[in-house]
Structure 1
């Protein structure tokens, strides 16, 4: 009889532990587990002199910056964007739990989407704004808030845009240089 009670107690303890583990993943209130991603978007004009080019960056109001988070199977589970204010600053707030699953900040990246400035609207890869920046170490951690402050992203003018000289982007498959090289 003692053996039966011991087995029942063991099964009950295992069930309680499984329920407790599942319960732990879901936050108890809406304020639990917040990831904030912020930064600045500036215009950098290469036509200016060195001093103005380095120090004369102006913020762009109305730029759209996005944050995309992926799951373990490289599927998008979260996408949000924010528009910059007059100071060129943006901030996106992400709940750590989406549909009961915990977001991994290292699987999120931030990138430039668009600029409303008619002159300064070519995204650059200074600080990774064009290709996207993965969220690494947080800048600030306080209680259950994690904040990533990214380096400034830059747009530039069409005059400063570097042309793509890569031969792989050539649509013409019948490239005579390629034919010569293959023989």
Structure 2
């Protein structure tokens, strides 16, 4: 009886080990690993308009490029993707959770504006982090194998609205240089 019980335990442990190895292999190759979706809107905000138009008169921009970059634990890029906005100014970038056997962690990804085809509204702003890039935080939705992040709207503006950089870094005077 002990021999039969021992054999059953050995068979059960080997079966569990086999299942665990298959699970890891499927995750490493991207099979059944799921996806991370990053989406949002890109709008044009014109500061030359009156207050009411400036606050509520944003227009979606079609054809803007938005990128998502993900890093691994050693700060190397493991994913770079981009999407162009549709007529409503919306974009969606879909990322596999496993790339080349490495798990993509959403908190190591950031999204930023790349370009605008609009000849008038093409200066990126940092409203909602669009110019410098915004890290993915808590997901907006988690459903089965999909984690979705919906980011606040990013904005472009007109050249008249662009603020000049007034940092002292560019000022040659005051750095101790003698001329």
Matched, 1:179 2:176: yes
Change (3 A) 1:54 1:18: same
User: Residue 174 of structure 2 aligns to a residue in which SS?
Assistant: helix
Q: CA-atom RMSD, angstroms?
A: 2.8
Compared CA separation, residues 122 and 146, structure 1 to 2 (3 A): same
Q: How many pairs align?
A: 170
Indicate the residue corresponding to 1:34 in structure 2: 35
Query: In 1, Cα distance between the equivalents of 2:125 and 2:70?
Result: 22
Structure 2 residue aligned with 1:52:
53
d(CA) in 2 for partners of 1:110, 1:176:
36
Report runs of 4+ in structure 1 exceeding 4 Å deviation. 16-19, 28-31
TM-score (normalised: structure 2): 0.84
Does the C-alpha gap of structure 1 residues 18 and 69 become closer, same or farther in structure 2, counting only changes over 3 Å? Answer: farther
Distance 1:96 1:146 in 2: 9
Q: Which range moved further: 20-29 or 60-69?
A: 20-29
Question: Within 2, Cα distance between the matches of 1:142 and 1:19?
Answer: 24
CA spacing shift, 1:57–1:25, aligned 2, 3 Å: farther
Distance 1:86 1:177, change over 3 A: same
Report if aligned partners of 2:38, 2:150 keep a CA contact under 8 Å in 1: yes
- Would you say the 8 A contact 2:26–2:33 is kept in 1? no
Q: Output the TM-score relative to the length of structure 1.
A: 0.82
Matched, 1:68 2:69: yes
Counterpart in 2 of 1:101?
102
For residues 68 and 114 of structure 1, the distance between their equivalents in structure 2, rounded to whole angstroms, comes to 15
Q: Could you say which residue in structure 1 is the equivalent of 2:156?
A: 155
Deviations 1:25-70 (A, max 9, x none): 6338755411000000000000011110010000000000000000
Shift of 1:167: 1.9
Aligned to 2:3: none
CA distance in structure 1 between the partners assigned to 2:155 and 2:25 by the alignment: 38
- SS, match of residue 177 in structure 1: coil
Distance change (3 Å), C-alpha of 1:25 and 1:139: farther
The 1-side partners of 2:44 and 2:139 are apart by: 26
